[in-house]
Amino acid sequence: MSDSYFTRIYAHRGGGTLAPENTVQALQLAHQMGFQGVEFDVMLTADDEPVLMHDAEFGRTVFGTGQMNETRWEDLQRKNAGAWFKDPRYAGARVPHLDHALSYCSARSMHMNVEIKPAPGRDARTGEVAAGLCARYFAQAAAGVPLLSSFSREALQAAAQAAPHLPRAQLWRELPQDWAAQLAALGCVAAHVRHDHLDEARCAAIKAAGYGLMAYTVNEPRRARELLAWGVDAICTDRLDLIGPRFR
């Protein structure tokens, strides 16, 4: 497998801790800072529209109460996704549609890690819809296609059926013993693993098996350098101010 699916540093949820997560404003900030890679989460509305969202329940980054899988896209557009950030520049931010994020990032040649983040009970459908939209958007693209990732094996299986040509990565909080078998079964090109569950031996084994490797979410420069020295292909970070696009 090739590590060409990656760029070196990814801005977590678009803008890390410097902009409201999973918004176009976050993607804009990452681009302005020179980041070539962004990671963002995709969830479905009640009417199957794929949008950038991490939490299935409102209240943390989107004001109000309710559930994503019970909210229609038309109603979601009226909700505020920026006021929680306590910065007046972002007070009017809204939850963006996946199509908007794909358009923005591809126009600027930014690598995208699209994390499929299903609301409870919607794993397969979220994988199918998110991958299908990405496939249609990049139907004519020879390069620069997004890397799809998920903790959900069901979502990845559905994504593989909907868009078999798009690269996929399995997300793990902790690397399981049968990681190689799981990656092979899903046809994945990479593993994305929480950084504090990686050591030099695990990194070497994953790379020797021919898979790409991303470590998340790495917010200390010293740890980032250690992981890169061990052969990690990509770092996903919240601290865009400490681990920048040209970090070495």
pLDDT in tens, 120-175: 999 999 999 999 999 999 986 655 789 999 999 999 999 999 999 999 999 999 99
Name the active-site residue from 31, 54, 195, 197: 54
| pLDDT the model gives residue 2 | 47
Q: Tell me: the pLDDT tens digits for 77-105?
A: 999 999 999 899 999 999 999 999 999 99
Question: Would residue 195 show up in a list of annotated catalytic residues for this protein?
Answer: no
pTM (2 decimals)? Answer: 0.96
Three-class DSSP category at 235: strand
Task: Give the confidence band of 5 by pLDDT, cuts at 50, 70, 90.
Answer: confident
Architecture of the domain delimited by 3-46+97-237: Alpha-Beta Barrel (3.20)
Catalytic choice (12, 31, 97, 111): 12
219, pLDDT greater than 90 = yes
Is 54 an annotated catalytic residue? yes
